[in-house]
Amino acid sequence: MHRFLGFCAAFLMLSVAPLLHAEERPELAVAVDLRHVAQDLWRVDYRFAQAVTAVKLPSIGEFRNKEWKVLTPGMDMKSRADFDVIASKGKPFKTASVQIRTFDGWSPKEYVSFNRFGDGGTSVYLGHLQGDVEQGGKTLSMHTDFKLSGLAQENVIAPPTNRLHPGGVRGYAYFGPAQAVLAGAAKVLIDPRTPQWLRETILDVGAKTSAYYEKAYQRQLKDELLIMVSIGNVESSGFSIKGGTIMGAGQVSYRVEGKQVLIDHPKLREYVSKNVAHEMAHIWQLAVSRGAIGDAQDPWIHEGGAEAMALDALAQTGLFSEESVQAYRAKQAATCEKLGGAVDTYDGIYACGLMRFDKLGVGIVPLWRSMMAATEASGAAYSQQMIDTIVSAK
């Protein structure tokens, strides 16, 4: 399985550094057939190009333990510290079938496995079906080819394929009555429960920041882009928006929770705008033909970078007033100061990451334009060294 970006929560929701996997590991072709078989029931059939001795899927909290049932006779699943392992007592196998029930829980540090939409539809995070396989003592990444089928009458919307890592991590697939609609260059699928102010804010900020990034960074979108918005837990107190951008996989997914979602308040519009501008900044960080975000990369580079790119875009497009930009910077500066400037915590990655970019003395636009050119020229991931080289040349 290949790397993907961690969560980019505007606030409340916590996350850690991205789950990263060894790069350039050998791969094995795997056909994955995901079928929606009943309202809350799914069936997954894996077919491996060659016999394997185990399937190793990175642990996702309680999800597999609670909701997965291995159907293939003689085979079982065991949860280890970091992986859920499906095996057949050491015997090689070429197929494996599991039954999965829709899971409503989730781990704060992970993508949500399932989202329920107000139209009765469900989206499934395909990345949770992907991982590695073992052949004896050798570990290979799945090079996955998905086939998706819904219930009768159900519309299935597949996430774009992974451009930077063919066969790599895929985003959310939607099963339900809705159709995606075109909004500029992106396709959007918005939960019908989404209140008007939120729909408007996501679409408006998405369109304006995209147009800005395209012009400022002199790059067009490389990915086919599918934006999904789902609403969950409207009974819970407060408000949270959690956005995720899946590296090279052409998808931004937002999950909004809390009863304040029904309130159109300027502060909430601001939170949402910042989050959308941040996610779109990642899309542009990834608008390169190779390189971008590497396994060993410090997350403060892409997260702090996205924060700085977002503030610039929000200011330049007039979506944020100068005061709002300054207030956000001041808040992040205070957070970073409390952390002693370190980027080894979730808050530090964002707050001190932003501070580090602010202190470089090079404009964020020329800096990231050079970063994108450098990653593409060498194939190397964004790095501190790349930043240093660019800064010293300016």
User: What is d(CA 70, CA 98) in angstroms, rounded to the nearest whole number?
Assistant: 4
- Choice between 232 and 305, CB closer to Zn ion: 305
Q: Which of 172, 146, 176 is nearest to 159 (CA)?
A: 172
Query: Which positions from 60 through 119 interact with Zn ion, judged by CB under 5 A?
Result: none
- Choice between 68 and 172, CB closer to Zn ion: 172
CB of 278 to Zn ion, least distance (A): 6
For residues 299 to 328, the per-residue mask of contacts with Zn ion, x marking binding by CB under 5 A and - elsewhere, is ----x--x----------------------
User: What is d(CA 111, CA 88) in angstroms, rounded to the nearest whole number?
Assistant: 28
CB of 221 to Zn ion, least distance (A): 17
- Choice between 132 and 303, CB closer to Zn ion: 303
- Choice between 93 and 320, CB closer to Zn ion: 320
CB of 135 to Zn ion, least distance (A): 35
CB of 40 to Zn ion, least distance (A): 31
- Choice between 132 and 279, CB closer to Zn ion: 279
Query: Which positions from 256 through 285 interact with Zn ion, judged by CB under 5 A?
Result: none
For residues 2 to 31, the per-residue mask of contacts with Zn ion, x marking binding by CB under 5 A and - elsewhere, is ------x-----------------------
Q: How many residues bind Zn ion (CB under 5 A)?
A: 3
Q: Which stretch binds Zn ion (CB under 5 A): 207-215, 250-258, 295-303, 325-333?
A: 295-303
- Choice between 8 and 252, CB closer to Zn ion: 8
Which spans of this chain sit near Zn ion (rule: CB under 5 A)? 8, 303, 306
